Amino acid sequence: MNDYFMNTYHRLPAVFTEGKGCRLTDVDGKRYLDFTAGIAVNCLGHGHPALVQAIAEQAAKLVHVSNYFLSDTALAFAEELVAACSKVGMRNVFLGNSGAEANEGAVKIARKYSLAKYGPGRHRIATLKGSFHGRTITTLAATGQDRFHQDFGPFTEGFIYIPSGDIAALEKALDGTVCGLLMEPVQGESGIRPLDPAYAKAAAKLCAERDVLLMYDEIQSGVGRTGDFLGCEIFTDGKDGFKPDVVTIAKGLAGGIPVGAVLAGDKAKDVLGVSDHGSTFGGNPLAAAAGRAVLSIVNQPAFLAEIARKGEKLRAALAGWKHPLVAEIRGRGLMLGVDIGTDAWPVLEACLSKGLMMLSAGPRTLRFLPPYVITDAEIDEGLSILKSVLDSVKK
């Protein structure tokens, strides 16, 4: 049946036609409960009325205009997005279409900032072991996992990988050749691993002292996923004042319409000038309208508090099972990972056959990224399917 796509995804066997809320329907009319949100994209679920209306109205008015001009919608979106990220000191934004593209922008900012101030030889970027930053040649190079450094070389030069949580190693790594430190507040693809807050604060201090740009990849953890608008907020509040210089966002930002954003704080906001960067589709009015609709709903204290509450409910239920396969539960908000000590793929297949869409993060970790609009009853329903599947797995 699938003869026309390149074979780049290990796909689960379902072909979907439509969705509403946290339910999807496949070509045979079978219904599924969604614990994946399109890998943290469909944060408002499927067919959310406010998002549908915003997209439809904007589509009828103006879908695209070149970035040589502005649109009223993109202007408003940029202002609202920067305001949403102002808690961590962001001052302006460049809009693209994806996470990898946002991280490419971050790398360019760090390198140009350093080159202009210190000259050549200080172009390296440190990332964490186990990180994931994208699939372009540069963001693969930024990704701190050897398995992503095969087959496509030569990769972009100038990335070093340091162990998460080890401040002495970071201190040694920032040796005068490094211009940026790029980290995920919660590592997503490698198993939902939250960054240690004490490490994050110490790293921020060190970066500030050595004038290394501190950059957070919030592509999976941002837009409310952790229960805060940005996952890095918990590292940056309080009185120490160490804020990131650059933040990248994508995935959930426009609820399913492609958009990516690289935001910059005071130090980095004027680094990219005319002709330094660009993107044909980046932040077009359609994406901006969808982004505005998402922000207007998600970036509200009560809505974010509900994400945190639902995440706690999910975590407490999983812990309460005391299931022999549930070895460790990690994460924040509605971004949770559960180590099951056995191959996750058959669990995903069995869940799907029983009508539950689940993801893994690494070979033995189940990943929970449900839409924020999931109800308590839907959480219970999905968990009861998962439990019945885990009960039938032989370790």
Contact between 249 and ligand PLP per CB under 6 A:
no
Piece of the chain touching ligand PLP by CB under 6 A; list 74-82, 153-161, 182-190, 265-273: 182-190
C-beta nearest to ligand PLP: residue: 99
Residue of the chain from 134, 180, 283, 331 that contacts ligand PLP (CB under 6 A)? 134
Q: How far is the CB of 103 from ligand PLP (least distance, A)?
A: 6
Q: How far is the CB of 133 from ligand PLP (least distance, A)?
A: 5
Q: How far is the CB of 20 from ligand PLP (least distance, A)?
A: 24
Distance between first and last Cα of the chain = 34
Q: Which is nearer to ligand PLP, 103 or 279 (CB)?
A: 103
Q: How far is the CB of 324 from ligand PLP (least distance, A)?
A: 30
Residue of the chain from 250, 335, 356, 390 that contacts ligand PLP (CB under 6 A)? 250
Piece of the chain touching ligand PLP by CB under 6 A; list 14-22, 73-81, 213-221, 270-278: 213-221
- Binding residues for ligand PLP, rule CB under 6 A, total 14
Q: Which is nearer to ligand PLP, 98 or 279 (CB)?
A: 98
Contact between 245 and ligand PLP per CB under 6 A:
no
Residue of the chain from 184, 228, 233, 306 that contacts ligand PLP (CB under 6 A)? 184
Contact between 98 and ligand PLP per CB under 6 A:
yes
Contact between 339 and ligand PLP per CB under 6 A:
no
Residue of the chain from 180, 188, 191, 311 that contacts ligand PLP (CB under 6 A)? 188
Q: How far is the CB of 256 from ligand PLP (least distance, A)?
A: 12
The partner residues of 332 in beta bridges, in order of sequence, read 335
Piece of the chain touching ligand PLP by CB under 6 A; list 150-158, 199-207, 216-224, 307-315: 216-224
Which residues make up the interface to ligand PLP (CB under 6 A)? 98-100, 103, 132-134, 184, 188-189, 217, 219-220, 250
